[in-house]
Amino acid sequence: MKIEGTTKVIGIFGYPVKHSASPAMHNAAFKALELDYVYLPFEVKPERIETAAKALIALNIAGVNVTIPHKETILPHLNEISREAQLIGAVNTIVVRDNKLIGHNTDGQGFVASLKENGEKKIKEKTLLILGAGGAARAVATQAALEEAGRILITDKLKEKAEQVVRDLNKNIPSCEVRTIPQEEIKSTLKDADFLINATPIGMNPGDPLIINPDWLPTSLLVFDLVYNLGETKLMKAAREKGCRVIGGLGMLVQQGAISFQLWTGKEAPLKVMRKVLEEKFR
Ligand code: NAP
C-alpha cells in the first residue's frame, strides 16, 4: 500500500478497537480496486467522542465507521442523519462531505443483503422472531419493518429492553406488527415463525450454551445467527442438523461493510475480497 499526499483517510472510532476486522477488510478492498485510500483504527475514549467528531473535519478525514460504545453518543455531533439511522437510533458509518458529518446505519441493510445473497429474496409478510433487543436487533427489526415484514416478535432477557424497541418501532413504522414475547413463549412462537434471528452475543465463545432447545426448531425455519466470529456456532450446527436453512453473521458483516465502502468511495465493493479477509480472520 502506497500512502501519498493525495491518500484519503477512512477509519473506525471504537473503544476498544483492537479487535476490529474492519481495517483489514477495507484496506484489502481499497488495494483490490487500486483506490488511493487507507483505513485506520482510532481508539476514542467515550468522553472524547465530541472532540473526535470535530477532528474528522479538521483533519480532512473522508469518513469513519463507528462502533461500541459510540454508535448512539455520536448522534448529537452529526450534521445529518439518514432515515435508517434515525429510525434505528444509532449510526455505524459517517461520511464527511462539504465539511458536514452525515451519519448512516448499514447494519440493517447488510442483514437484508445477506439474506438476499443466500437466496432469500423476500421479507415481505414473513414472521421474524428476534432473540435479543440490543443494537443489532434494533437494526435488523427496523430494516425488516421497512421491508414490510408481516410480524416481528422480539424477546430479550430484559423485558423492558425489548418493550422499548417495540415502542419505538410501533411509533415510527406503525404499518408493521411488532410486539414482545416472553421467553416462555419462544417454543410456541417458533411453530409459526419463518425466520429465527439470534441477535444476542450468545454463541460468540465456543463454551457458550446453545441459546435454544433444538427440538423447538421446525425444519421450515430459516435460522440466521448474527454471530460472525466462529465458522459455525452451536445454534447454526443444531439448526443444520434439524434440516433448517442456516445463515451465519459473516456475510452480514461483509455486506454492511460493502454498503459503507460504497458510501465513502462511490464504488461497488469487492465482496469476494472482503469476505476472504474475514474468513481468514475468523475461521
Ligand atoms: P448488545 O447490544 O449487547 O445486545 C444483545 C442483547 O441480547 C442484550 O440486550 C442482552 O441482554 C440480550 N441477551 C443476552 N442473552 C440473551 C438471551 N439468552 N435471550 C435473550 N436476550 C439475550 O449486542 P449487539 O451489539 O446488539 O450484538 C449482538 C450480536 O450481534 C453480537 O454477537 C454481535 O457480534 C452481533 N452483530 C453482528 C453483526 C454482523 O454484521 N454480523 C452486526 C452487529 C452485531 P443483556 O445485556 O442483559 O445481556
Distance CA 81, CA 89 (A): 10
User: Residues in the chain with pLDDT < 70?
Assistant: none
Asked if residue 145 and residue 75 are part of one domain, the reply reads no
- Residue 280 inside a domain? The answer is no
Same domain, 17 and 146: no
Q: Using DSSP, state whether 66 is helix, strand or coil.
A: strand
Q: How far is the CA of 88 from the centre of ligand 1 (A)?
A: 15
Q: Domain of 127: which CATH number?
A: 3.40.50.720
- CATH of residue 94's domain is 3.40.50.10860
Of ligand 1's atoms, which has the minimum distance to the CA of residue 200?
A: 7
Say which DSSP state 4 is in: -
Best residue among 93, 114, 157, 181 to mutate for probing ligand 1, ranked by most atoms within 8 Å of CB = 157
What stretches of 23-78 adopt beta strand conformation (E)? 37-43, 63-66
Give dist(CA 61, CA 99) in Å, integer.
10
**CA 104 to CA 109: how far, in whole Å?**
11
Same domain, 180 and 243: yes
Ligand 1 pocket member 276 (CB < 6 A) = no
- Candidates 89, 116, 123; CA nearest to 103 is 89
Looking at the fold, whether 29 and 150 belong to one and the same domain comes out as no
Strands (E), the chain: 8-14, 37-43, 63-66, 80-81, 93-97, 100-104, 127-131, 151-155, 177-180, 195-198, 222-225, 245-248
Is the CB of residue 14 below 6 angstroms from any atom belonging to ligand 1? no
71 belongs to the catalytic site: yes
Residue at a domain's end among 105, 128, 163: 105
209 inside domain: yes
38 and 125: one domain?
Answer: no
Separation of alpha carbons 254 and 104, rounded Å: 16
Residues 62 and 121 in one domain: no
Query: In terms of domains, do 75 and 207 share one?
Result: no
pLDDT at residue 28, as a whole number: 98
Residue 82's domain spans which residues?
Answer: 8-105
Catalytic residue among 8, 71, 237, 276: 71
- Residue whose C-alpha is closest to residue 8's, from 53, 40, 32, 49: 40
Residue 86 resides in a domain: yes
Question: Does any domain span residue 257?
Answer: no
Question: Cis ω on the peptide bond leading into residue 174 (within 30° of 0)?
Answer: no
Write out 157-192 in H/E/C secondary structure.
CCHHHHHHHHHHHHHHCCCCEEEECCHHHHHHHHCC
Written as nine digits, the cell of 155 is 424477546
In a domain? residue 224: yes
80 and 64 in a single domain? The answer is yes
Query: 78, 105, 132 — which closes off a domain?
Result: 105
Q: In terms of domains, do 165 and 96 share one?
A: no
Helix and strand numbers, DSSP H then E, in the chain? 10, 12
Minimum-distance ligand 1 atom for the alpha carbon of 253: 40
The answer to whether position 189 is within a domain reads yes
Number of domains in the chain: 2
> What confidence score (pLDDT) does residue 5 get?
96
**Is 62 found in the same domain as 174?**
no
Report the pLDDT value the prediction gives residue 44, as an integer from 0 to 100.
98
Ligand 1 centroid distance, CA of 75 (Å): 21
The answer, yes or no, to whether any atom of ligand 1 lies below 6 A from the CB of 154, is no
Residue from 46, 43, 5, 45 nearest 23 by CA: 43
Q: Is the CB of 278 under 6 A from ligand 1?
A: no
Same domain, 80 and 215: no
Domain end among 105, 132, 147: 105
Whole-number pLDDT of residue 283: 77
27 near 38, Cβ under 8 Å? yes
Based on the domain organization, do 205 and 178 belong to the same domain?
yes
The finding on whether 137 has its CB within 6 A of some atom of ligand 1 is yes
According to DSSP, residue 76 is labeled: G
In a domain, 258, yes or no: no
In a domain, 274, yes or no: no
